Amino acid sequence: MQASDRFNINSQLEHLQAKYVGTGHADLNRFEWAVNIQRDSYASYVGHYPILAYFAVAENESIGRERYNFMQKMLLPCGLPPEREDD
């Protein structure tokens, strides 16, 4: 692999990471990664009607209530962020 190929691959990766938040980056910690995964999942559930209907039937709730619950869970999907140690 040549140096120019490596540079091209890295620049493409940086472009994807800047364009899409969920792709992550080198400084992404475990909590932020988990939040991205949970939010992407909830957004998919809300955006795909058959999945939303399946959850509504499984939990014996209306589809509107399930949509509302998923939207509420998107605010803090993994709870409060952990305390950061500033050195």
Structural domain contains residue 20: no
pLDDT of residue 1: 64
Does the CA dihedral 42-44-47-49 come out positive or negative? negative
Helix (H) or strand (E) holding 32: helix 30-47
Confirm whether 45 is domain-assigned: yes
Instruction: Print the domain residue range for 51.
Output: 26-75
C-alpha distances (whole Å) from 79 to each of 14, 63, 67, 73, 76 are: 29, 24, 19, 9, 5
Over the stretch 21-71, which tens digit does the pLDDT of each residue have? 767 777 788 888 889 899 999 999 999 999 999 999 999 999 999 999 999
Please count the structural domains in the chain: 1
* pLDDT of amino acid 13: 78
Structural domain includes residue 68? yes
Residue 2 forms part of a structural domain: no
